[in-house]
Structure 1
């Protein structure tokens, strides 16, 4: 299926609801009050958006700042999700040791950063795309990149992605929009440049009309597309977690904010906005009679402090009883606001599938990794579920990287599909591990090899065997039995 025809509506009608949902999640994730206000004011005409804090019409008043306060809880949830998944880099392994060395080169520190950022975006928007690319100017190797879910139009068959079209808005001048489209199919990548409007794709223009697309012209084959030379898709969809509760049956993943979490985040912002309003209103102000103010002269009024510490004037003679300087200061409802805020944060965390202790809500003394996992049971369950969604995407895109590496002539090694293993979410305390191994050794219930594997779970069989030999040599266990063989 080729790129869209000229004059196609944009975005395509079948994807408009999902993209609108992502726009709301994106506004919360960004933490930008202007974007939140824009999203919810747009919903005010057709829903209860007007009742939300960010859906209320606040006409700007010159000299008055925005009094609504946003607490970046959605971004904190997405960040915590990414750190739970990639606190340690996942281990992708193949059977061939030479190929493993090449794979380690491809999945370097830059690829680790790509995966960490992709995990955070996936939690916020419901999914992300991992894409294999290459650029001769960067080096003789394929590159791991990512595309956010709100910039892609995937095509699924039986729950598996068979093609995807990415887009990027390159320029916007008034009502004119220049878009770049990049369609990935098995064996090829097609590029297109369209000049249209905000809600219409418009017409195709030559790729040479913009530097971004002009760079790929020399790579186009006879069919007008970039031939990848492999039978696998050069993009993989990584859903955050499923199912999508708003669009049931959709192959798209769901955001951590889907459902009541958004309403709770709005209530949290309203609570903090009210708290800050109490603080503003509680500033001490002085009420004085008019005679206490300095007269600026006829028609010039009376002078008062620029910080408005003198708030108002009363037309009362200063000699009258009770007419002196009066201080006015309201109470700040600290405990009420704090209790409400803490309860809302807890509900947001639990609605997203995490344990309150993961966000530091349940304090306590230092604990071992086992105790931490027990406290964070819900977070560990959610993490394990997300690992099941992330692993196939990581294996798919890594296999595509190895195939491209071979097809483009960067490597002569035969590619294979890697195995994916995620590290523990919480590192075990070395002291606790040592005590456990010591007790097992005293009970003669553990071998030296098992002890080495426990301490170094990332080592391969050769490294473990070499370490066991060194330990046996140092402890004298490698000395052969001096007694001759005895045959009865």
Structure 2
């Protein structure tokens, strides 16, 4: 399918508008910026004055959301605490750490040269990219992975990330069959230049369009913009660049199955954010914490004093009150002889009530997002063994396992495309015909004492070989190191000496 040629085409297309609105809301919570939250829900105003929006007076879901904490304008004279608990960022970061705190193992069989090239390509930078991609997917509902290369920058291709709100996907029977990425390369005098990059099996199409904020506009030569000019020498007369990989070289990894768009064919495969459905709970948490901070502000010790004790500005000019000083003034009051004119005022600070409320909301948020409280280091829950960690973190491990089901095939596809690009552009000799096997590390590692006790029990039962026990104790070792350790153990214990009954020396 060619690139669009309709000058009046709406962009982004209206059929993905519901997804873009949801992604924008999740992104705002993920960013943790109170000003963005206020702008999203229509709160705030100019110079501290209320600036209500029409949506705040409406009924239904829209009105209710618009009247959330971040969307309710403060009353005249009220100080709004803009403290925000960035729990959305914590949830997305925890999701990434659960998946890729340890790099996945990528392997192929029957090709040592290809395995060596995989180890070189899938190094620390590859691992860091996966961590960023996993956090992005948890926040926005999914992420696109694409292999890129530049022989002037690196000696091997690498993995790139594309955000889901900059892509127009096409799915066939639930699988990504084509996708169009776009980016804005320039804006000037109401004109917007967009670069469209469409990926199809075996080919990539590039196009530059001049339009407006909401219209794609007409195609213009790639040479018109500095960022796209280098592509002009690479594409044919139809804007196509053939690839060495015959299938689609892009992988889309949905975070979790979607709930809100199941009846929309295009959007039903996009996936959902970890933040989907808990926005109201996060809003309640911010409101509870702001109330706590308000108690602290109002609970500051004050003293009520007579007007006569105010700071004078001079004859006929009255006095002034500095709210920063710890005095309330302005009362014409008489005192009895011998009594102090000062009246101390100290309001109670409801620390425990607010803490209990916030703790309960955090538990509900974490549980609704699909994680265990232990994952976020809940107070008073310190596990000392891997068994206890596994028991208390069962919900998080289940969520991690569900996400791995989407990440494993996606990584396998994109790494195969990465190897094809490596063999074509860098002449590495890697055999990309075999799809790599991706194995995720165990998220919970047993402690050394537990492993040693297990190995001892297996030894007494004669239920495992020396190699099996060594691999159990050191799962991170490669085959060479394992065999070396097995040989050393056999030499020390005398097992390396051949059995005389098997040599024929003893009749």
For the aligned pair, the TM-score class normalised by the smaller chain equals over 0.9
Structure 2 distance, partners of 1:254, 1:125, is 7
Displacement of 1:190 in angstroms is 1.8
Contact 1:241–1:255 under 8 Å retained in 2: yes
Alignment-derived partner of residue 165 in structure 2: 150
Does structure 2 conserve the Cα–Cα contact (< 8 Å) formed by 1:290 and 1:317? no
Q: In structure 1, what is the equivalent of residue 440 of structure 2? A: 422
* Matched residue, 2:125: 110
Give the alignment's Cα RMSD to 1 decimal: 2.3
- Tell me if structure 2 keeps the 8 A contact 1:140–1:410: no
SS in 2 for 1:348: helix
Q: Cα 1:408–1:353, aligned 2, differ >3 Å: closer, same or farther? A: same
Q: Please, which moves more after superposition, 50-59 or 18-27?
A: 50-59
| 2:424 aligned residue | 407
Question: In the alignment, which residue of structure 2 is the partner of 1:170?
Answer: 185
| Match status 1:382 vs 2:369 | no
Query: How is 1:14-413 mapped onto 2 (pairs within 5 angstroms)?
Result: 14-41=15-42, 44=56, 46-58=62-74, 67-95=81-109, 96-173=111-188, 175-242=190-257, 244-249=258-263, 250-259=268-277, 261-305=278-322, 307-317=324-334, 324-361=341-378, 363-413=380-430
Q: Give the drift of 1:294.
A: 3.0
Rounded to whole Å, the distance in 1 between the matches of 2:337 and 2:82 is 42
Cα distance in 1, alignment partners of residues 463 and 238 from structure 2: 66
2:46 corresponds in structure 1 to none
2:190 and 2:28 mapped to 1: Cα distance?
23
- Alignment pair present for 1:443 and 2:461: yes
Cα distance in 2 between the residues matched to 1:402 and 1:312 = 76
Structure 1's 388 and 30: CA in aligned 2 closer, same or farther, altered over 3 A? Answer: same
**TM-score (normalised: structure 2):** 0.90
SS at match of 1:389: helix
Q: What is the alpha-carbon distance in structure 1 between the residues aligned to residue 311 and residue 478 of structure 2?
A: 85
Moved more, 97-106 or 355-364: 355-364
Is the Cα–Cα contact under 8 Å of residues 265 and 348 in structure 1 kept in the other structure? Answer: yes
Asked if structure 1 preserves the Cα contact closer than 8 Å seen for 2:305 and 2:330, the reply is: yes
- In structure 2, distance between residues paired with 1:60 and 1:22: 33
Deviations 1:370-428 (A, max 9, x none): 22111111111111111001111100100100111122243223212101110011121
- How far 1:463 sits from its partner (Å)? 4.4
When residues 217 and 274 of structure 1 are mapped into structure 2, their CA distance, relative to the original with a 3 A threshold, is: same
CA contact (8 A) 1:193 1:207 kept: yes
What SS does the aligned partner of 1:48 have?
A: helix
Equivalent residue of 1:92, what SS?
strand
SS at match of 2:445: coil
Q: Per-residue CA shift, 1:325-362, capped at 9, x if unaligned?
A: 11222111111111110110000011011111211226
Match of 1:2 in 2: 2
Is the Cα contact below 8 Å between 2:26 and 2:273 reproduced in 1?
A: yes
Give the Å deviation of 1:174: 6.2
Shift of 1:475: 2.3
Give the TM-score taking structure 1 as reference length.
0.93
Question: Does 390-399 or 204-213 show the bigger shift?
Answer: 204-213
Judged with a 3 Å threshold, the aligned counterparts in structure 2 of structure 1 residues 54 and 173 are, in CA distance, closer, same or farther, namely farther
Aligned pairs, how many? Answer: 484
**What is the deviation of 1:58?**
4.6
Q: Structure 2, unaligned stretches of length 5 or more?
A: 43-52
